[in-house]
């Protein structure tokens, strides 16, 4: 009985721990870098009492957008991955499987090729979001016409991603200037992120997270399989499309300022599912907190490991997250993915 | 009561079973019995609105199924599918899904939903499984949880698609006893089975399906005497008199 009580308390405790970790990572991210900022100075700067000190300016102009960007991108990509894996009932699914990366990539390449450099840098976050969202909506539209089954969704995603991928290659080949903008986006990273880029994405992410949490019971019913879900009165096809629209907007908003950081969306949901189970409300919340913590920690590491040189955060993420994920697989072998 | 009127069912407008007239009265276990591929499960899914009918109609308390919303259907008929996904959640949470048709704004389950979950687990004989994770349960225990999920819907009618598949003999008998007890408590139970002997012992009424038609709907001993089973299954069905009533076997 005591074991069961512990099990009941374990989930809120682990969620709290993930939240604490994200907060700690954010504070470290705000304080550390080429110039160290003392916690007291950090608080003063955040309260608007920095008084123009160097540390205060660095925190407000550079580290705050970057840290906020890390938290938001990590939360959005991980939650998006969790939703997509739940809806597709496919542990290999991630935002790229429904066309987020290819759509965003194509629009960024198009933007870089057709606009003057100064303007295209400004507009590429918007282009990335629109591209990701448009591509996913196209996948969903076609899948809905063909019946919204899980396999149709995956195949439609693969086919349309391929077409957009070919489109990107064509643009980059015909207009080599586009390559610069596109490769920055492709590598991904948050070193030059500004508040103007993060702020609009933040609203999309917060609203979509709230929406996904509101529909968490529907997502849970969806995991029971099509027939059982429909026998419980859930309009399965429509719910799949709605959930994937949330996932697309989340991932699209994240890639609009962070570039492609696909790995977060794949591994964080797996880690969180193993720690707190697959109940959607906990899973989405856990992924948002865990993803925010992981990306922020990796970004701090990317800044510090080879200072004064910076590694792109995607590289750190793969080197740190990959082995941890593999360790988790081996440690709990035989358990349900 | 759920009634099937001149119903033809199948996939992509191709009927596998035609001109079915059948109802599922309360207080009875109605078993759909037939060889593999005769359309038993297809009929059940069509009766639940999970598949569109090829022709004919399904009536719920006299109203056509097509006129009812999904959640309305789910409050009248529960469905225990043959195959289930096993998410990593507790049994209680699984059974709570049975309350989904009653979920309204602000999309949170209420106290009465949790009470219904408790009642359902109790009648399915699985109260002690409440806090256990689904993945740690045996096949028989999981079946109890799925049954409790269907019971939590608090419907007049329960449809069970091959509920004894994957179960050992003791659990098979237990499931069939529960089906009978539910009928005796006033529910209508529609049960699909290809296990002739078990089905004949459980049913109040048997519908024999073969070659695209319902051959006969009658009480088990009438069905036995008609010889419809021998014809449908291509075996010789016999029975012996025991203390608990007729026991059927095949040769």
| Residue at A273 is within a domain | yes
| Measured distance CA(B146)–CA(A82) in Å, rounded | 25
pLDDT band of residue B181 (cuts 50, 70, 90) is very high
Q: How many residues does chain B have?
A: 251
Name chain A contacts of B73, Cβ cutoff 8 Å.
231, 233
User: What pLDDT sits at residue A1?
Assistant: 45
CA-closest candidate to residue A278, choices B211, B20, B94: B94
Stretch B54-74: mean pLDDT, rounded? 92
Q: Does residue A271 fall inside a structural domain? A: yes
Residues in A closer than 8 angstroms to B131, CB to CB, are 4, 7-8
Say if the Cβ atoms of B48 and A232 lie within 8 Å: no
Strands (DSSP E) along A78-230, which ranges? none
Residues of B in contact with A215 (CB under 8 A): 107
Q: What span, in angstroms and rounded, lies between the C-alpha atoms of B231 and B96?
A: 43
CB atoms within 10 A of CB A271: 20
Residue of A93, A70, A95 lying closest to A188 (CA atoms): A70
Which two tokens mark A335?
């358990």
pLDDT surpassing 90 at residue B38: no
Angle between helices B139-152 and B169-184 (to 10 degrees): 20
Strand partners, B190: B30, B159
Is residue B209 within 8 Å of B215, Cβ to Cβ? yes
pTM for the full predicted model: 0.85
Please give the DSSP secondary-structure letter assigned to residue A60.
I
Is pLDDT of B204 > 80?
Answer: yes
In this prediction, residue A71 carries a pLDDT of 94
pLDDT in tens, chain A (337 residues): 445 556 667 888 888 998 999 999 988 888 887 777 777 777 777 777 655 677 777 777 778 889 999 999 999 999 999 998 888 877 777 887 777 888 888 888 888 888 777 777 777 778 888 888 888 888 877 877 776 567 777 888 888 888 888 988 888 888 877 777 677 777 777 777 888 788 888 998 999 999 999 999 999 999 888 889 999 999 988 888 889 889 888 988 888 888 777 678 888 898 888 888 888 999 999 999 999 999 999 989 888 888 778 888 888 888 887 787 787 777 765 454 4
| Domain CATH for A100 | 1.10.3470.10
Considering only CA atoms, which of B145, B139, B142 is closest in space to residue B124? Answer: B145
ipTM of predicted assembly, 2 dp: 0.90
Tell me if A127 is assigned to some domain: yes
Residue B26 main-chain phi, psi, to 5 deg: -70, 150
| DSSP per-residue codes, B112-149 | HHHHHHHHHHHHTT-GGGTTSBGGGS-HHHHHHHHHHH
Question: What is each CA distance from A168 to A137, A173, A184, in whole angstroms?
Answer: 18, 8, 14
Q: Which residue of B has its CA nearest to A4?
A: B131
- Whether A306 is covered by a domain: the verdict is yes
Kindly state whether residue A310 falls inside one of the protein's structural domains: yes
**Does residue A165 lie within any of the structural domains?**
yes
* Tens digit of each residue's pLDDT (9 = 90 or more) over B108-126: 889 999 999 999 999 888 8
Query: Would you call A225 and B81 a contact, using CB atoms and an 8 Å cutoff?
Result: yes
Give the span between the Cα atoms of B35 and B185, in whole angstroms: 30
Q: Mutate which of B97, B128, B149, B190 to test chain A, going by most A C-beta atoms within 10 A? A: B97
Cα–Cα nearest to A325, from A251, A272, A260, A254? A272
Residue B30 pLDDT? 95
Counted residue by residue, chain A has a size of 337
- Report the helix count and the strand count for chain A, using DSSP H and E: 15, 0
Query: Which residues on chain A are in Cβ contact (under 8 Å) with B43?
Result: none
pLDDT at A153: 76
Q: Is residue A22 part of a domain?
A: no
In a domain, A246, yes or no: yes
Domain span at residue A213? Answer: 69-331
* Rg of chain B on CA atoms, in Å: 18
- A97's CB contacts (< 8 A; 6+ apart) are A84, A88, A90, A154, A157, A158, A161
Sheet holding B205-210, edge to edge: B77-80, B157-161, B188-193, B29-33, B205-210, B213-218
Nearest residue to A95 via CA among A132, A145, A53, A47: A132
- Per the structure, how many domains does chain A have? 1
């Amino acid at each position: 009985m005591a074991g069961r009580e512990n099990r009941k308390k374990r989930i809120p405790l682990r969620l709290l721990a993930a939240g604490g970790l994200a907060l700690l990572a954010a504070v470290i991210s705000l304080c550390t870098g080429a110039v160290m900022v003392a916690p007291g100075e950090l608080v003063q700067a955040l309260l608007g009492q920095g008084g123009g000190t160097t540390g205060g300016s660095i925190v407000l102009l550079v580290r705050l957008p970057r840290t906020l960007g890390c938290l938001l991108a990590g939360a959005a990509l991980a939650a998006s991955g969790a939703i997509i894996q739940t809806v597709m009932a496919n542990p290999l699914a991630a935002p790229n499987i429904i066309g987020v990366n290819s759509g965003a990539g194509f629009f960024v390449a198009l933007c870089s090729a057709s606009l003057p450099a100064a303007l295209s840098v400004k507009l590429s976050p918007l282009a990335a979001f629109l591209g990701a969202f448009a591509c996913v909506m196209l996948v969903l539209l076609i899948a809905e016409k063909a019946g919204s089954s899980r396999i149709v969704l995956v195949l439609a995603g693969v086919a349309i991603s391929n077409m957009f991928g070919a489109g990107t290659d064509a643009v980059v080949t015909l207009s080599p200037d586009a390559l610069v903008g596109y490769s920055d986006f492709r590598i991904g990273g948050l070193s030059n992120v500004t508040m103007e880029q993060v702020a609009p994405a933040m609203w999309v992410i917060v609203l979509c997270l709230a929406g996904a949490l509101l529909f968490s019971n529907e997502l849970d019913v969806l995991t029971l399989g099509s027939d059982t879900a429909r026998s419980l009165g859930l309009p399965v096809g429509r719910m799949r499309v709605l959930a994937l629209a949330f996932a697309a907007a989340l991932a699209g908003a994240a890639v609009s300022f962070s570039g492609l950081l696909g790995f977060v969306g794949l591994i964080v949901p797996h880690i969180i599912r193993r720690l707190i189970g697959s109940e959607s409300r906990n899973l989405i919340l856990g992924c948002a907190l865990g993803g925010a913590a992981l990306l922020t920690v990796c970004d701090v590491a990317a800044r510090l490991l080879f200072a004064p040189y910076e590694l792109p955060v995607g590289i750190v993420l793969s080197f740190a997250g990959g082995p941890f994920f593999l360790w988790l697989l081996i440690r709990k072998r035989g358990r349900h993915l | 009561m759920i009634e099937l009127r001149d119903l033809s069912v199948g996939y992509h407008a191709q009927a596998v079973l035609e001109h079915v007239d059948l109802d599922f009265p309360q207080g009875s276990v109605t078993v759909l019995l037939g060889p593999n591929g005769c359309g038993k499960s297809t009929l059940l899914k069509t009766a639940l609105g999970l598949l569109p009918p090829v022709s004919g109609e399904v009536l719920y308390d006299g109203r056509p199924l097509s006129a009812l919303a999904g959640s309305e259907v789910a409050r009248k008929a529960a469905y225990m599918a043959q195959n289930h996904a096993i998410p990593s959640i507790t049994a209680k949470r699984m059974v709570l899904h049975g309350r989904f048709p009653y979920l309204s704004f602000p999309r949170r389950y209420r106290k009465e939903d949790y009470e219904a979950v408790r009642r359902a687990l109790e009648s399915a004989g699985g109260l002690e499984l409440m806090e256990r994770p689904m993945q740690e349960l045996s096949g028989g225990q999981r079946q109890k949880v799925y049954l409790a999920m269907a019971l939590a819907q608090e419907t007049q009618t329960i449809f069970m698609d091959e509920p004894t598949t994957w179960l050992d003999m003791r659990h098979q008998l237990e499931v069939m006893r529960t089906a009978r007890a539910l009928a005796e408590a006033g529910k209508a139970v529609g049960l699909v089975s290809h296990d002739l002997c078990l089905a004949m012992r459980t049913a109040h009424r048997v519908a024999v399906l073969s070659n695209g038609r319902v051959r006969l709907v009658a009480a088990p001993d009438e069905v036995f005497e008609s010889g419809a089973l021998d014809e449908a299954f291509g075996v010789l069905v016999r029975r012996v008199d025991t203390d608990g009533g007729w026991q059927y076997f095949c040769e």
